[in-house]
Amino acid sequence: MNPPLSLRPPHRADVAVIGCGIVGLSVAFHLRRRGLSCLLIDAKGPAGETSFGNAGSISIGNLLPQSTPGIAWKALRMLADPLAPLKLDWGASRGYAGWLLRFLREGRRERVMPIIEALHAINTAARAAWLELGEAIGAQELIAHTGYLHVYSEEATFAGGQWERELMRERGVAFDVLDGAQLRDLEPGIGPGFQRAVFQRDSLAMRDPGEFCRRLFNDLSARGAQVLIAGVEAIERRGTDYRLRTSAGEAQVGQVVVAAGAWSNRLLRPFGVRLPVIPARGYHLMYPQHQEVVRRPTLWAERYMVVSPMRQGIRMTSIKELTGLDRDPRYALIRRLDPQARALFPALSGEPDAEWAGNRPCTPDSLPILDRVAGENLYIATGHGHLGLTQGPISGRLIDRMMAGEATDIAMAPYRLDRFA
């Protein structure tokens, strides 16, 4: 079913969900199942941003945040390396200087352990939420049970990961440490420079993230969700309800969920909310070949580059560029990594036939913000950073239960906005 591009007035619903990425769509899925009428609003439609262009890994076993002890020295080394994934867009640096200081603070050992526990809790719960959602909309074939492979080109980097492996063992994460022969049994096409690997067995892979979001979007529309393809200009309180002014007209709703990623801040400022969320732009290249080059999402740990098999071909993702929403992408950053992708998988051939850039909404502690604005029927679901695909369906379930006043299976304190106070 093709949803309408706009609604005719009056635009009314129980809940407006702003943002049609995997997070917002997952929220709407649970709200519709509860029987609430929903209005989906997004300027670009389903998966118009990072839910389209990610690496496709549903990373159940990941439990380390981006900021960890010693991150400052590691970041400085990355900035000196033109092939390293961390980039600073100096033209936008005034907008994220304070965020960087908070980011460094969150990586201190005494602060990072509670963050690790919170990441482990939400990522572990994500697996069942993903399988449930895929079955509910008949999209199981897009979810692959391949695991997630981390490979190492330097012995020192592998040795430096011992702390993470100990944390994984202590928390019951299912993983295997592989030598060179075992690695090649799992991924025969891996390059000769890789002799160490860690394989997270329970992680899943998405073969077409954009298509999954489109199917979920169409399923919601078929089940009665209203659709407005428009930019939201403002949210205004009107008595017990809210008026949303958009580029395609107005809507009146009883509750609002802001799941607009890096664009969420602007919508919430009139309510006194300041989200410590900045855009960290990621990039991908698509290679057109369909023969087996790689079987599962594979992360080159030193380069923080992921090569993944997709239905459309082979996708290579990398780069964390701290930037601003009004800044143009710099595709040269990802193009220069093409030789590195071929070193990881030498059978990769041909020229890339597509490139993409999108803004991840990143918090200083790598945890999402899942909360209610005090005194309002406004809910926040953003800040998922590099784990938006992984955490989308479980975030939708948690927001739904929060809105219904029900207990959650996961303690919500680590994801509340007031942790940044």
CA of residue 117 relative to chain centroid, distance: 18
Give the H/E segment covering residue 88: strand 86-88
DSSP 369: E
**Token pair 């098999």 is at which residue?**
309
- Is it true that the peptide bond before 361 is cis, omega within 30 degrees of 0? no
Length of the chain: 421
Give the C-alpha separation, 217 to 86, whole Å.
Answer: 33
Phi and psi angles of residue 150, each rounded to the nearest 5 degrees, phi first: -110, 125
Give the C-alpha separation, 252 to 198, whole Å.
Answer: 50
Would you state the pLDDT for residue 93? Answer: 82
DSSP string computed for 200-223 = ETT-EEES-HHHHHHHHHHHHHHT
CB 285 within 8 A of CB 338: yes
- pLDDT tens track, the chain, 421 positions: 444 444 455 579 999 999 999 999 999 999 999 999 999 999 999 999 999 999 999 999 999 999 999 998 888 888 888 888 999 998 888 888 899 999 999 999 999 999 999 999 999 999 999 999 999 999 999 999 999 999 999 999 999 999 999 999 999 999 999 999 999 999 999 999 999 999 999 999 999 999 999 999 999 999 999 999 999 999 999 999 999 999 999 999 999 999 999 999 999 999 999 999 999 999 999 999 867 899 999 999 999 999 999 999 999 999 999 999 999 999 999 999 999 999 999 999 899 999 999 999 999 999 999 999 999 999 999 999 999 999 999 999 999 999 999 999 999 999 999 999 8
Angle, helices 109-136 vs 97-106, to 10°: value is 100
Would you state the pLDDT for residue 7? Answer: 43
Would you state the pLDDT for residue 398? Answer: 98
Phi and psi angles of residue 182, each rounded to the nearest 5 degrees, phi first: -65, -35
Give the H/E segment covering residue 345: none
Q: Do the two domains 11-51+211-276+366-420 and 58-205+277-362 of this chain adopt the same fold?
A: no
Query: What residues form DSSP beta bridges with 241?
Result: 238
Tokens of 160: 């430096």
Tokens of 281: 């732009």
Would you state the pLDDT for residue 9? Answer: 54
Residues 129-178: pLDDT tens digits?
999 999 999 999 999 999 999 999 999 999 999 999 999 999 999 999 99
Q: Residue 237: is it exposed, middle or buried by C-beta count within 10 angstroms (0-12/13-18/19+)?
A: middle
Tokens of 159: 């040795």
Measured between alpha carbons, how far apart are the two ends of the chain, in Å?
45
Helix H segments across 326-386? 332-335, 338-344
Would you state the pLDDT for residue 191? Answer: 97
3-state helix, strand, coil in the chain (%, to 5): 40, 25, 35
Would you state the pLDDT for residue 313? Answer: 95
Give me the torsion for CA of 357, 3, 395, 36, rounded to 10°: 160
**Considering the domain 11-51+211-276+366-420, what is its CATH architecture?**
3-Layer(bba) Sandwich (3.50)
Residues 45-54: pLDDT tens digits?
999 999 999 9
CB 316 within 8 A of CB 276: no
The CATH code that applies to domain 58-205+277-362 is 3.30.9.10
Give the C-alpha separation, 309 to 289, whole Å.
Answer: 10
Would you state the pLDDT for residue 2? Answer: 45
Tokens of 259: 């799941």
One-letter amino acid of 206: M
The closest of 353, 362, 348, 351 to 319, measured between CA atoms, is 362
| Domain locations along the chain | 11-51+211-276+366-420, 58-205+277-362
Would you state the pLDDT for residue 13? Answer: 97
